[in-house]
Amino acid sequence: MQEIASEMKAFLPFGWQPEWDVQSIKDVGWLCDGRTVFQNVSKILPGHYLICRSFGSISQEKYWDVDFKDKLGTAPASERINCFSVKFIGEEHDEEPIARRTAEWLGVKMHHCEMTEDNFAANIENAVWHNEAAVTDLGTVGKFLLSKLTSDEGIKVVLTGEGSDEHFAGYRELLTDFVREPDLAWPDKGLTEDVRISTFNSLEGSETSGPKELATSAAVRAQVNNTSFLGFTQTASLRDPLLAPWVFQEFGTSDKRLTAVNSIDGRTRELMLNKWHPLHTSLYIWTKSSLANGLLTVLGDRCEMAHSVEGRQPFLDHRLTEYAMALPPSVKLHYDPSTSTFSEKWILKEAMKPFITPELYARKKHPFSAPVKYKPDGPVHKLFERLITKENVEALGFLEWEKCKDLLHDAIFDGDRPKWSQMILAGQFVILGKRFGVKKATPEFAG
């Protein structure tokens, strides 16, 4: 019998016993394809719908996909528009000041949700329960509480900006793939071949292309025109050394980038190799993986619907999407020869220049991310100290306690950023395991 629901927790009252899909967790399949973190629970893929013919088997069929052509009432806005923003502690992560200045310039109401360490610690577990996934940044907790503030203000529908970075190349890591090949769809762009090649040579293999310590699989990258943006699959997942030995005996070793590549059908790979510019290839991969399975869920719908708020994304209107897909790469990531600089989301900023502040127009992309440093013996430290114990980690079944036991110390006391990501991932899997009552993962074939 097939059961369908908008959230996995809806299956629990019907006697469902969750079991970890260890291979999906290991290979970051929950982010890159139709799998989830639980066995035998799948998602409907982006741009697909379910079909059941004559009560037979259920299948998914594609109804829409993107392609690239390379090769409000009468009242004054200030009376009817409310703006909401998260205020993180620390200048590195806090975007509230620029949001406030922009709201003042527009003359609209501004509300902010201040994320103290106490707020993080008190809400992580509920946020993870609603997310139904584990992620490497606690920004999702900020969005969870921001949605609560929105609901408390009596507002049930919000407009959000997801999709603008995907349509108009807003991520700095995309620059390598932008200069990987010339843009034949926009030849008069001021970017000479000498500058393009020298820029590419300086970026390829650098930190802007992905983690330097991870080996690159030439065979995997060759299938997607050698693009380097696949590195996100490595940073979004548990590192292999933390996994129990039986996981590799059962599932072997694999490049996590292969999970993202295997989710792309043959027709699309042919377009990537022969028609699309590498920038558009990277945007497609990101859109079908992290946008669909990450940003629109753990930073979007899950957080919003937890407080009965509906988020709508104007940038993901399918007509706007199709228009953006037809634009040349060089009007998205634009080179200015007078300053020798690249500007992300250039065409969007130029179109919106009369309606935004000069500060916002000139600003570089700033990712929505939460602080990663918290004081020893503080609320966040104590929370993860309670979560990451020998008993809890061993109850998962797929993590090795000896490899996990120092994560807390390295993340909190030493300020190790990669260890912080791994620590909060492990802690979130413990939360999911306890909240869902997940059966301990055990090998099926490995001894």
Per-residue confidence of the chain (447 residues) as pLDDT tens digits?
Answer: 688 999 999 999 999 999 999 999 999 999 999 999 999 999 999 999 998 877 677 889 999 998 887 875 555 656 678 999 999 988 788 889 999 999 999 999 999 999 999 999 999 999 999 999 999 999 999 999 999 999 999 999 999 999 999 999 999 999 999 999 999 998 776 899 999 999 999 998 765 555 544 455 678 888 999 998 888 888 889 999 999 999 999 999 888 888 999 999 999 999 999 999 999 999 999 999 999 999 999 999 999 999 999 999 999 999 999 999 999 999 999 999 999 999 999 999 999 999 999 999 999 888 889 999 999 999 999 999 999 999 999 999 999 999 999 999 999 999 999 999 999 999 999 999 999 999 999 998 866
| Angstrom distance (rounded) from CA 400 to CA 354 | 55
The answer to whether 399 and 426 have CB atoms below 8 angstroms apart is yes
Which of 30, 47, 62 is a domain's end point?
62
In a domain, 182, yes or no: no
Note the pTM of the prediction, 2 decimals. 0.87
Could you tell me if residue 115 is inside a domain?
A: no
pLDDT of residue 192: 92
Predicted pLDDT at 88: 93
Q: Supply the range of the domain harboring residue 45.
A: 8-62
Residue 73 included in any domain:
no
Residue 431 lies in a domain: yes
Amino acid at residue number 302: R
Number of domains into which the chain is organized = 2
- Amino acid 53: pLDDT: 78
Residue 50, CA distances (Å) to 4, 44, 59, 197, 252 in order: 10, 7, 6, 46, 32
pLDDT of residue 232: 85
- Report if residue 43 sits inside a domain: yes
pLDDT (0 to 100) of residue 421: 96
Q: Judge contact between 247 and 435, C-beta under 8 A.
A: no
Phi, psi of 276 (to 5 degrees): -85, 150
Helix (H, G, I), strand (E, B) or coil at 128: helix
Tell me, yes or no, whether 229 lies in a domain.
Answer: no
Which pLDDT score is estimated for 78? 62
75 within domain boundaries: no
Predicted confidence at residue 212, as pLDDT, reads 47
**Helix, coil or strand: residue 410:** helix
CA distances from 359 to 94, 107, 331 (A): 16, 16, 21
AA letter at 339? T
How far is 90 from 373, CA to CA, in rounded Å? 10
- H/E element holding 326? none
Is residue 395 one of the residues assigned to a domain? yes
Q: Which residues contact 213 (CB under 8 A, 6 or more apart)?
A: none
Q: Length of the chain, please?
A: 447
Task: Give the pair of three-digit tokens for residue 447.
Answer: 């001894």
The span from the CA of 198 to the CA of 191, in Å, is 11
